[in-house]
């Protein structure tokens, strides 16, 4: 029973739920990028290379593969180096890495702007020079020690 309670506390923590949502969205984003690479980016490149399906490019490691597609060769268990598919995966990675970079860059920019706003904001409170309690900036008398406040700070000299 104690283990179930600990597991429930662990599972409902905000970080675990945020991580789960991130993994799900990341998986969906990966599918989108795969589609962009396979269906949008690589067909024009294949066209430039002589109207070949780029993901079917391979280097045969055995004889008898002339004119066959990668799927046909793999179905016959003929060893090949599928460099076209490898290049597709590299391009997918670069697109995802660039998107993550831009996302982090945007978040950092927002954080910097927020810090600037916090620093530039006028203070709404000040410390009482007698009891050091926090009081409104406009106050002329301290609400804690009832000392009369002046526009200038009192001298601390004896």
Q: What pLDDT, on a 0 to 100 scale, did the predictor assign at position 151?
A: 61
76 and 141 assigned to the same domain = no
Query: Is the Cβ–Cβ distance between 84 and 58 less than 8 Å?
Result: yes
Q: 137-156: per-residue pLDDT in tens?
A: 888 888 888 888 876 554 45
**Mean pLDDT, rounded, for 32-43:** 82
Asked whether residue 49 is assigned to any structural domain, the reply reads yes
Number of domains in the chain: 2
CA quadruple 7, 12, 18, 24: dihedral positive or negative?
positive
Q: Is the pTM of this model over 0.95?
A: no
Q: What mean pLDDT do residues 53-78 have?
A: 80
- 57 within a domain of the structure (yes/no): yes
Q: Is 65 helix (H, G, I), strand (E, B) or coil?
A: coil
Whether pLDDT at 55 is above 70: yes
């Amino acid at each position: 029973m104690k283990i179930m309670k600990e597991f429930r506390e662990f599972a409902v923590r905000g970080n675990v739920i945020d991580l789960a949502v991130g993994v799900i969205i990341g998986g969906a984003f990966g599918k989108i990028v795969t589609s962009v690479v396979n269906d949008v980016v690589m067909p024009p490149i294949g066209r430039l290379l002589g109207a070949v399906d780029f993901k079917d490019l391979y280097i045969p490691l055995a004889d008898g593969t002339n004119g066959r597609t990668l799927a046909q060769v793999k179905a016959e268990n003929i060893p090949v180096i599928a460099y076209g598919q490898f290049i597709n995966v590299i391009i997918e990675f670069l697109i995802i890495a660039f998107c993550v970079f831009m996302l982090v860059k945007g978040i950092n920019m927002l954080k910097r702007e927020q810090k600037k706003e916090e620093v530039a904001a006028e203070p709404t409170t000040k410390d009482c020079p007698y009891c050091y309690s926090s009081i409104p900036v406009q106050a002329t008398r301290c609400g804690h020690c009832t000392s009369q406040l002046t526009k200038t700070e009192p001298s601390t000299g004896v």
